Amino acid sequence: MVSKNFAILFSLVAAVINTPVSLAFPSYASLAGLSERELAEIVPRLQASDPPSPPGPLKVNGTKLVNDRAHPWKPLQQDDIRGPCPGLNTLASHGYLPRNGVATPSQIITAVQEGFNMDHSTARFVTYAAHLVDGNLVTDLLSIGGKTKKTGPDPPAPASVAGLNTHAVFEGDSSMTRADFFFGDNHSLNETLFKQFQDFSNRFGGGFYNLTVAQELRHQRIQESIATNPTFDFTSPRFFTAFAESSFPLEFFVDGRNPVRALSMDNATLFFRDSKFPVDFFRAAAPTGAAFAQQIFSAYPIAAGKNVNGINTFTPDPTSADFSNFCLLYTNFVTKTVAGLYPNPTGVLKRNLIINLRYFYAPIADAGCTELFPYGQL
């Protein structure tokens, strides 16, 4: 039986197990989608980096002031990157991540622990999952959003831009504050949806985003996508990350000194719109990660599925992973997503794939899932 903590981990990794094959490449982005000939041409021109061992857990993991003098908020500079995750955007705007929005996996793991007190296993698992599909495995760099000229010129076609803006990776349909990909901009704050976020918080939470609001708004957004988005897809991975997304503001955007998990609308505006910590903000009191996801799901249970023939044709998909089969997520990620993106890697790319897959698996080593080695072992 997989423990609750590992269920949380798998609900988060689902964000990255169904990514398109043609991903991006400037130097921070993915090498996936390139042919063997193109990889042979491009990889030698990159400044290769050996993936370092991941940072460990925080030595002091209680609450503390995080909007401090060492991490002042600064406005965006030209070509700085921000993406669909308000948490990572905030960390970059306060300097916990590089302010240009391009970081190494180690920097991201450290930042989400230091800034939000995200559980170490969750932080490590999610970061390496994202890096394996959205990052540059040769240079060990990942964009938290889209493309930036600061990372160098584009390679020849067919490479395209990736980063966390890529649809069906970390971003997905029925977001609380971002529009579905079908309607255009899927990564910027949508003011109409943010007003709905505020309205539901007023109606169901007395002016605060709490667990009840999270449950009601998650259900509402799913129903809206079913009724308006002919391409709505709520299978794994999005089936899982939608509930994790609804949980995160309760855990990471509420001051750690407050025993009540309720987010004020003033503070929600700072995080979602301005990428800014509130004044005198303290991080979570203890390490955490998607702790409310299953409670949010349980309020309005729904099968994983999609619209199969236009709007209002939502049909369950029995082949999709769900909360009852977590090892299927890991297996599909390794054997289908990663192996599909990199069918025949060689040299430093193959070596770094092996290393990063090991870093990805280690946090779930005790979950009962068999470790897979599509490229062998070092």
pTM, rounded to two decimals:
0.86
What is the average per-residue pLDDT within 13-40?
Answer: 49
201-204-208-213 Cα dihedral, nearest 10 degrees: -70
What is the average per-residue pLDDT within 204-216?
Answer: 98
**Cα Rg of the chain (Å, integer):** 20
pLDDT value of residue 30: 59
Tell me the C-alpha distance between 377 and 353, whole Å.
Answer: 10
DSSP states of 128-157: HHHHHHHSBTTTTBEESSS--GGG----ST
pLDDT value of residue 17: 38
- 188 burial (CB, 10 Å; 0-12 / 13-18 / 19+) is middle
Specify the higher pLDDT residue, 11 or 216: 216
CB atoms near residue 303 (< 10 Å): 14
DSSP states of 360-377: HHGGGTTTTPPP--TT--
What is the average per-residue pLDDT within 166-182?
Answer: 78
pLDDT value of residue 23: 34
